[in-house]
Amino acid sequence: MTARFSGKNVVIIGGNSGIGRSAALAFAQEGAKVVITGRAPQTLESAAQEIGHGAVAIRSDIGDVAQTSQLFAQLASQLDKIDVLFVNAGIGAFQPIEKVTEEDWDTIHDINLKGVFFCVQKALPLLRKGSAIVLTGSIGALKGIPTGSVYAASKAGLRALGRCFAAELVTRGIRVNVVSPGPTETPIIGRTAGLPPQAIPAIREQMIRNTPMHRMGTPEEVAAAVLFLASADSAFVTGIDFLVDGGAASF
C-alpha cells in the first residue's frame, strides 16, 4: 500500500456512506488524517469506526449554509490547513416536469449546487498552495434523461462551478476537478426522490443495460479516481470532468 497522503488533512463532505465512505477508507489507508461529515449521526459514527486511523466525524448538512460556516470555523480551530477537500454530498431526484414543485427544486439545488459553492467558499481560508478540491458530479449532467431535469440541472451547474473554481484558484496553486460517476452501487438509489422502492430493481437493470460495460460501478472504483485527482499523481490536471461510468456517457 502506498502512502500518498501521509501527513495530509483530508475533509470529505458526505463521507458517511457510498462513494464518500469508500474514499475516506482509502485516504486513511494511505496515511491521511480524515474528517468526514454527513447528516445521519448513526452512519457517521459507524463510518468513523470503520475508517479508523483517528478519523473524525462531524454532523453537518451541506444544504444549510450556516451549518457549513460552523463546520469550517470548527475545523479552523482543529487543523492548520486542508490538503484535500472532497465535496461528495448530494441527493438524487427523478420526477416528471409536471410534478416538480418549487420546494423540490430548492431542496435539490440547495444541496447539489448552492451547498457545494458555499462549502468551497468557506473552506478557502484553510486551503493552501498544493491543495486539491474534488467535486462529485454525475453523467446526468451530460445526458438527456426523462424525469431527470432538476437533478441534471444541479449537476450541470456543479460542473460549471468546477471549471470556474479551477480557473480562479489556479494562481493560488489549488487544483479543482470533478469526478462524475455513472450507475454505481451506492445507497443513494434507494433514497432518490420520485422512485418508489418497488421500482428500483427494474431501474437498476435498465441502468446496467444502458451501460456499455454491462454492470454497475463500485464505490471503490470511483474512490480510486478521487484519490488520483487529489494526489500528486495528477499534479498537472485541473478543471477536468473525470467520467467513471463504464462508457455510459461516451457511446
Go through the chain and tell me how many residues it has. 251
Report the side by side order of strands in the sheet with 82-87.
56-59, 33-38, 9-13, 82-87, 127-136, 175-181, 241-244
Q: CA–CA separation, 18 vs 30, rounded Å?
A: 19
Q: What is the DSSP string of the chain?
A: ---TTTT-EEEEET-SSHHHHHHHHHHHHTT-EEEEEES-HHHHHHHHHHH-TT-EEEE--TT-HHHHHHHHHHHHHH-S-EEEEEE-----B---GGG--HHHHHHHHIIIIIHHHHHHHHHGGGEEEEEEEEEE--GGGTS--TT-HHHHHHHHHHHHHHHHHHHHHGGGT-EEEEEEE-SB-SGGGGG-BT--GGGHHHHHHHHHHTSTT-S-B-HHHHHHHHHHHHSGGGTT--S-EEEESTTTTT-
**Has 151 been annotated as catalytic?**
yes
- Closest to 34 in 3D by CA, of 6, 59, 10: 10
- The active-site residue, picked from 151, 216, 217, 244, is 151
Distance between CA atoms of residues 115 and 92, nearest Å? 14
Catalytic residues: 151
